Amino acid sequence: MEPDFQITDANRVVRGPKRALYDRQAVYQIIDNAAVAHVAIAAGGEYPLAVIPMFHARQEDAILFHGARSSRLMKTLASGIPVCISFTMVDGIVLAKSLFHHSMNYRSVVLFGTGELIEGDGERLAAMKVLSERIMPGRWDDARKPNRKELDATAVVRVCVETASAKVRIGGPLDEPEDLGLPIWSGVVPIHCRAGNPVSDEFSIGLELPDYISAFVREYNSRNAM
């Protein structure tokens, strides 16, 4: 079992500390389920920061990203500067009797680490496979593999997780005791993401939908079911 993240000034959850989690398993589960990562980098010019959404996958204690080798974001991530990455899933709208106690149910992670370029075809292909299998398990063995030109155009970056924390809210509203008798409906409107029926393109007429895609849709919807 991996040790928990040490609580420091960087990852301490100050607001709502009872909703904070510092154990690696909880943090990694949220990262693995989040559709996208929001990556903050230092940008030059008038605005010193930029936040960019990226597709990610986790490989042990690192977050993997890929992108065009020529992109500013990939170059910045590869340069070894400290980065912050945030992952968020919204699970519901919490309607309390008082407006003050309205809230959202969510699972979120804020993570700090340092990026590095993955080099060498072997390691790069292994990382690309992790990214591909995260988006669709089984796809790597089915689709056409990257050729030399495509490999050369792609940068793959690993951000080693140095510290992180999760913040999770679940359950119903938490109203003031004196408000509990008010005749105002209170409760939760659940929000969940679903995968729809796969839509084939015009170049797949007559091709059967592979089993791993149907399995993905089923698994996605059962994981996100309420």
**Contacting a second copy within 113-172 (CB under 8 A):** 128, 132, 135-136, 139-140, 142-147, 150, 154, 172
> What is the DSSP-derived secondary structure letter of residue 5?
P
- CB nearer a second copy, residue 201 or residue 222: 201
Q: Kindly identify the residues of this chain, within the stretch 29-48, that bind a second copy according to CB under 8 A.
A: 35-36, 38-48
Name the minimum Å distance from CB 95 to a second copy.
6
Binding to a second copy by CB under 8 A, coded x per residue (else -) over 189-218, reads xxxxxxxxxxxxxxxx--xxxx--x--xx-
| Burial of 212 per CB tally in 10 Å (0-12, 13-18, 19+) | middle
Q: How far is the CB of 62 from a second copy (least distance, A)?
A: 16
- Please give the residues from 53 up to 92 whose contact with a second copy meets the rule CB under 8 A: 53, 55, 67-68, 71-73, 82-86, 88, 90
100 binds a second copy (CB under 8 A): yes
∠ Cα 219 134 202 (to 5°): 80
Please identify, among the stretches 24-32, 57-65, 94-102, 115-123, the one whose residues bind a second copy according to the rule CB under 8 A: 94-102
Which residue from 182, 215, 219, 223 is in contact with a second copy, where contact means CB under 8 A? 182
Q: End-to-end distance of the chain based on CA atoms, in angstroms?
A: 29
Other Cβ atoms less than 10 A from the Cβ of 126: the count is: 14
What gap in Å lies between CA 86 and CA 75, rounded to an integer?
A: 19
Give the count of residues interacting with a second copy (CB under 8 A). 99
Residues in Cβ contact with 21 at an 8 Å cutoff, skipping those fewer than 6 apart: 27, 165, 166, 167, 168
